[in-house]
Amino acid sequence: MHYEGWFPPSAKIVVAGGFGVGKTTLVNTISEIEPLTTEAPLTENSAGVDDLTGVTGKTTTTVALDYGRLTLDEGLTLYLFGTPGQHRFWSMWDYIVIGAVGAIVLLDTRRPTDCFAAIDYFESRSVPFLVAVNDFNGEAIHDIPAIRDALDVDPETPIIRCDARSRDACKDALVRLVDHVIDKETVHAGQW
């Protein structure tokens, strides 16, 4: 993979999705630098506010953003920005997304509707994205065609499987996203 001439030398990528889907894990897994995180402990104050269904072991939450970096090759460095998942922190998204060329929307098959807000957000702003199905514990609960039907995304939107704990899987997701962004740019030339 060599992106020189096809892509700017650096690009901002957003990692988004619902609460507890694995955004911080993905950024931590793939970043070649010590990632910056804004993790804070879940407290009693979040009881009744944060839905812990499917993530009962979660003890922290992102309150602003996660940040990491990955150099794909000499021609492309990706700057990764993970969004907070809870609704009360969504005001950060408008700032995080400024200048982003694309996004990964993580989907937890235990709570698939949690990714709808992220999908709607990127579709409404014409930000190219892919959906990365983060199957926890290696459990592929739904197949990709069923997920595509449920999400009702554009047929050109890639939907892939990705274990946010696997460096290779995260790198594959980022390469697929970059390729998707290039494909969209080729079709809509000049609309960066």
The predicted structure's pLDDT at residue 93: 85
Q: Which two tokens stand for residue 120?
A: 């709607």
The predicted structure's pLDDT at residue 36: 86
The predicted structure's pLDDT at residue 140: 65
Closest to 132 (Cα-Cα) out of 65, 118, 123, 188: 118
Query: Contact at 8 Å (CB) between 47 and 86?
Result: no
pLDDT in 10s for each residue of the chain, 192 residues: 556 666 678 899 999 998 888 999 999 999 999 988 766 666 665 555 555 566 666 656 665 688 999 998 777 899 999 988 766 677 778 899 999 999 999 998 888 888 999 999 999 999 999 999 987 666 667 789 999 999 999 999 999 999 999 999 999 999 999 999 988 876 555 544
What ranges in the chain are assigned the alpha helix state H? 23-30, 93-96, 116-124, 144-151, 167-187
Beta strands across the sheet bearing 100-107: 36-41, 60-73, 76-82, 10-17, 100-107, 129-133, 159-161
CA–CA dist 74, 148 (Å, integer): 34
User: What kind of fold does domain 10-187 have according to CATH?
Assistant: Rossmann fold (3.40.50)
The predicted structure's pLDDT at residue 3: 63
Domain ranges of the chain: 10-187
The model's pTM is 0.84
Identify the DSSP state of 7: B
The predicted structure's pLDDT at residue 192: 44
DSSP labels, 131-156: EEE--GGG---S-HHHHHHHHT--TT
Closest to 181 (Cα-Cα) out of 121, 126, 128, 123: 128
